[in-house]
Amino acid sequence: MEPATQANAKATTPKLRTKQNQGYWRRFGTFYIMMAPALIVLLMNNYLPMIGSAIAFKQIVYSSNSFIQSFLDSEWVGWENFNYLFSTTDSATITRNTLMYNAVFIILNLVIGVTLALLFNAMRSRRLAKFHQTTMFLPYFLSMVVVSYLVYSFLNPEIGIINKFVLPWFGGEPVDWYAESKWWPFILPIINTWKGIGYYAVIFLAAIIGIDNEYYEAATIDGASKWRQIWSITIPLIRPVIIILTFLQIGRIFYSDFGLFFQVTRNSGILYDTTLVIDTYVYNSFIVSGDIGMSSAAGLYQAVVGFVLVLASNLVIRRISKDDALF
């Protein structure tokens, strides 16, 4: 509302603005000013493009210079873009790859992350624990471009560490890593865990450190073993954090780390059958091939299925334990 119209509204309808309402604005008006910048960014970055999702149901024809005008003039074609997308074999491949990789990533992050956090907590020397935390977090700080360089130094077919030193040492034959797709389902989870695990371990550790020591003291007096304490005290008490993090990842199970699949595999076409995921597919078909209809259909498919999965997993959590559900 512009100030002028607001003043008008005030003047014409004085009865509508109850006392309570005035108190509300006097009390919380500042909050709205505080939240305005973020709301503007959310509108630009998230909510306006959501309206643009309708593009998936259109056949874009460039009728005028302004794209928005062209968008409005373009014909509605219903599910045509989707039919076209699902008639290709690509759609099955990218769905399978996206889900499989993410499932593996989620399990690895959870299991290894919690394990490392427990080990950190068990270390006697606080200073050593701090040091190892610092080094473990290091890969998290590298951009995917840098990681792709590092991976290349290992996998370079002629002079990479693996082909030059590691494989000969075991008596194996050199492998042309960037031309054989069958190895990537093992390579990518290793890289993803190596890069991200420090982050998960620290979040879990923060939760473990927050646990009151009295629980453990009581358990020790009762004669509970170390394993028993981990199983019956630590894990249950960090369960909310585990659930939130896993849940956030399940909500993103249809989304991939674009950098990992684009940079590290060097977007190499030979590897697509095991490395193409929905994100890289949308990028390739939109930016590289310029196929707006197909790529926006793939994008919307990704968003809607992802959303349904979030709701479903929340429902499951509600069934298991209502307190841990997100909404």
Partner 1 sequence: MATVTVKRKRGVNEVSSFSNFMINGFFWIYTALCILPLLLVIAVSFSDERQVLVNGYKLWPEKFSNGAYDFLLSDWESIVRSYGVSIFVTVVGTIIALATMALYAYPISRPDFKHRKTFSFIMFFTLLFNSGLVPYYLMYTQGFHLRDTIWILMIPYFVQPFFVLILRTFFTNSVPTALLESAKIDGAGEWRIFGQIVLPLSLPVLATVGLFCTLNYWNDWFQSLLFINQENLITIQFRMYQALLDITFLSANSTAYSAILAQNPDFQLPTETVTMAMAVVGIGPIIFAYPFFQRFFIKGLTVGAVKG
- Angstrom distance (rounded) from CA 310 to CA 235: 24
CB 327 within 8 A of CB 312: no
Is residue 169 within the footprint of partner 1 (CB under 8 A)? no
Please pick, from the candidates 9, 226, 289, 315, the single residue that binds partner 1 as defined by CB under 8 A.
226
**Segment contacting partner 1 by CB under 8 A, of 3-11, 90-98, 242-250, 269-277:** 242-250
8 vs 168, beta carbon nearer partner 1:
168
Tokens of 182: 């069958």
- Angstrom distance (rounded) from CA 109 to CA 120: 16
Is residue 161 within the footprint of partner 1 (CB under 8 A)? yes
25 vs 78, beta carbon nearer partner 1:
25
Q: Which helix (H) or strand (E) holds 11?
A: helix 3-12
CB 259 within 8 A of CB 311: no
Quick one: angle between helices 126-137 and 184-209, nearest 10? Answer: 140
Q: Which residues pair with 75 in a beta bridge?
A: 59
Draw the binding track, 258-277, toward partner 1 (x: CB under 8 A; -: no contact): xx---x--x-----------
SS3 (DSSP) at 47: helix
Is residue 279 within the footprint of partner 1 (CB under 8 A)? yes
Is residue 117 within the footprint of partner 1 (CB under 8 A)? no
Half-sphere exposure of 29 (CA within 13 A, CB side): 6
Please pick, from the candidates 6, 7, 24, 88, the single residue that binds partner 1 as defined by CB under 8 A.
24
Length of the chain: 327
Is residue 20 within the footprint of partner 1 (CB under 8 A)? no
CA distances for 326 relative to 50, 112, 246, 308, 314, angstroms: 23, 24, 12, 14, 7
Q: To the nearest whole angstrom, how small is the minimum distance from the Cβ of residue 139 to partner 1?
A: 6
Is residue 83 within the footprint of partner 1 (CB under 8 A)? no
78 vs 307, beta carbon nearer partner 1:
307
Residue type (1 letter), 319: R
Instruction: Tell me the number of residues near partner 1 by CB under 8 A.
Output: 104
User: To which residue do tokens 């939130």 refer?
Assistant: 244
Q: Which helix (H) or strand (E) holds 251?
A: helix 235-251
SS3 (DSSP) at 290: coil
Is residue 159 within the footprint of partner 1 (CB under 8 A)? yes
**Segment contacting partner 1 by CB under 8 A, of 4-12, 23-31, 96-104, 180-188:** 23-31
Is residue 76 within the footprint of partner 1 (CB under 8 A)? no
9 vs 54, beta carbon nearer partner 1:
54
Please pick, from the candidates 240, 269, 289, 312, the single residue that binds partner 1 as defined by CB under 8 A.
240
Draw the binding track, 196-225, toward partner 1 (x: CB under 8 A; -: no contact): --x---xx-xxx-xx--x--xx--x-----
User: To which residue do tokens 């959870």 refer?
Assistant: 110
Instruction: Please give the residues from 42 up to 71 whose contact with partner 1 meets the rule CB under 8 A.
Output: 42, 44-53, 55-56, 66-68, 71
Q: To the nearest whole angstrom, how small is the minimum distance from the Cβ of residue 11 to partner 1?
A: 26
